[in-house]
Amino acid sequence: MPELPEVETIKRDLLQRLSGAKLLEVEIRNPDFLTKRGLSLSSLQDLVGAKLTEIRRTGKQLALILNDKALIFHLGLTGSLVFKASSEASESEFPLEKHLIVILHFDRGTLLFSDIRKFGNLKILSAEELSDYWSKALGPDALYVSKDDFVSILKRGKGQIKKFLLDQKVLAGLGNIYVDELLFRARIHPERRVESLSSEDLERLYHEMKELLREAISLRGSSIRDYVDGTGTPGLFQTRHQVYGKRGMPCPICGTPLKFLNLHGRGTTFCPVCQK
């Protein structure tokens, strides 16, 4: 899915274009998607007339604050949120037309939520409930977590490092791409046990994580297949990937062919020589 850098990019795009905009109409294209997830169609319609005052993100989730409500998006593997200004082409020629779930018509243009594989989610809470909800469902955001918190979380951790870092309740935001890239940069084997990491390892992991996320956001995220930013444009960070999706290719450091394993159901690519 869109992982942290992709969702952060979308957040910035939408904030710039929609801050202060008024919601004029909610057009539901796929009611089944919503009702299956326990969202009543009327609760969505009730948002009409609200002003978008704020956009928040924790991990891979994004919340539009509309008056006293929070409309929370989780983009799954293939969800997208694309804004088209009133002056741009209409959604009839929108490439994801077939997969549209909801169209939010604002005074400044339309926000199109689509999801090819329908692994995404949409939820409405009161704006006050949002922080509580996120703090129960998610660990600290990987972009903002302090070094002290990160180290203490990892020191209390158990099991394989890859699985641990993918757990959103532990740390929110990393997914399969960024965990593979991070472990390569930090020279840590994906099957290494968290308990076995030294303080030095943890420090390195923390700094590499921040740097990786910073670079990925500056290149507007990774587009492997379907991801597009808040304007419908692909990201560029995939050109900087060192291991993800590169099984069998030479390690950029030592030239050894990159190894591929299936770990807890996720494809995992790494260098068997550089990563210990």
Site residues (vs DNA, CB under 7 A): 1-3, 6, 36, 59-60, 74, 76-78, 98-99, 116-119, 137, 159, 166, 168, 175-177, 222-227, 245, 264-267
Q: Where are the beta strands (DSSP E) in 39-168?
A: 52-58, 61-66, 69-74, 79-85, 100-106, 109-115, 121-126
Identify residue 127 by its one-letter amino acid code.
A
- What CA–CA distance (Å, rounded) separates 95 from 111? 14
| Contact of 217 with 181, CB cutoff 8 Å | no
CB 50, CB 67: distance < 8 Å: yes
Decide whether 49 or 95 has the Cβ nearer to DNA.
95
For residue 76, the minimal CB distance to DNA (Å) is 5
CB 1, CB 79: distance < 8 Å: yes
The residues annotated as belonging to the active site are 2-3, 60, 266
Closest to DNA by CB, 83 vs 134, is: 134
Distance of CA 13 to the CA centre of its chain: 14
Of 41 and 254, nearer to DNA (C-beta) is 41
CB-based contact 17:109 (threshold 8 Å): yes
What is the β-pairing status of strands 266-270 and 259-263?
Answer: antiparallel
Rounded least distance, CB 78 to DNA, Å: 6
Among 253, 61, 10, 55, CA closest to 175: 61
Closest approach of DNA to the CB of residue 173, in Å: 9
Beta strands in the chain (DSSP E): 23-28, 52-58, 61-66, 69-74, 79-85, 100-106, 109-115, 121-126, 259-263, 266-270
Residue (52 or 216) nearer to DNA, CB: 216
Largest pairwise CA distance in the chain: 59
Measured distance CA(196)–CA(167) in Å, rounded: 18
Tell me the β-bridge partners of 61.
Answer: 58, 74
